Structure 1
Amino acid sequence: MSATQTRTGSCLCEANKFTVKGDPMLFVVCHCTNCKRQTGTAFMSNALFKEENIDFTSSQNLGQYSDSKTQSGSTIVRQFCNTCGSSMFIRPDQGKKLTGVWAIPVGLIDGSDTWTPTKEVFVEKKCSFVKELAINSPQ
């Protein structure tokens, strides 16, 4: 895929739609307690994009939660659709130095099934039934 290819994405009810330009900078599988609680499952898979590569085409009824009890110690803002409950974006807290990078759950992005995770974090919190990712396997 070229760096200028644009992909679409949305929440479950499609009230919130966006596009992303190019491939993600990083594709992270996170095993931290807060991501597991947000998704209600064993881990969260996020694609990281520079803020300037994300465009909102429809943004309705987004809620947000400032998560200050993170394992990293940095406050992050978790945005979600107030209508269907889909997790939408994770971004740095506005009060902190902005990095300009947002995380988007990969399941929201059309065509993301061709991407492979590039990093796994908080592996010490990994559920025992989650198998090792190919990125961590010896070559």
Structure 2
Amino acid sequence: MTPSAAVPSRTATCRCGALRATCTGEPVRISVCHCLDCQRRSGSSFAAQARWPDAQVQIDGDAHRWTCTSENGNRAIFLFCPTCGGTIAYTSEGLPGVTAIPLGTFADPQFPPPHYSVYEERKHAWVAILGDAIEHFP
């Protein structure tokens, strides 16, 4: 019998470390979003996130939930730390069955690059998302 290869996992944490998301396997989507909601959520000119099937994400720690309707009309649920306020995960009706984890919460400069850049009509003029494998969507 051949030993099976270890399934990769990554752990994301909020700034204080009280809230964690452990993601098993490879993400099904890695993207950059320039919508105004993501700009506000991230506090930056865009947000980067990776998505895994819901069953491959384990959230540990106390989380506050906030539900809102995004500018495209989809409802989203955000999980954030009640101590430091860091968003650790979110889901959206627009992409059902997957959980998004902000890339910065992994604190891993070697994290794979995004394949999608969306809401580029909201992109700041001085931002350039580069790479041959990235699809760009207005």
Does the TM-score normalized on the shorter chain lie above 0.5? yes
User: Aligned pairs, how many?
Assistant: 130
Specify the SS of the correspondent of 1:35.
Answer: helix
Q: Which runs of 5+ in 1 are unaligned?
A: none
Counterpart of 1:125 in structure 2 is 122
The alpha carbon displacement at 1:113 in A equals: 2.8
For 1:59, which of 53, 58, 61 is the aligned residue?
Answer: 61
Specify the SS of the correspondent of 1:113.
Answer: coil
The alpha carbon displacement at 1:5 in A equals: 0.7
**1:91 and 2:91 are equivalent in the alignment:** yes
- TM norm structure 1: 0.83
For 2:99, which of 96, 99, 102 is the aligned residue?
Answer: 102
Counterpart of 1:82 in structure 2 is 82
Specify the SS of the correspondent of 2:37.
Answer: helix
1:106, 1:112 within 8 Å by CA — same for their partners in 2? no
For 2:8, which of 1, 5, 8 is the aligned residue?
Answer: 5
Q: In the alignment, residue 83 of structure 2 is paired with which amino acid? A: T
Q: Which runs of 5+ in 2 are unaligned?
A: none
The alpha carbon displacement at 1:101 in A equals: 0.5
Counterpart of 1:35 in structure 2 is 38
Q: In the alignment, residue 13 of structure 2 is paired with which amino acid? A: S
- Rounded to whole Å, the distance in 2 between the matches of 1:91 and 1:109 is 18
| CA deviation profile, 1:81-102 (whole Å, cap 9, x unmatched) | 1111111111136xxx982201
1:20, 1:54 within 8 Å by CA — same for their partners in 2? yes
| CA deviation profile, 1:81-130 (whole Å, cap 9, x unmatched) | 1111111111136xxx9822011001112546330101011000001111
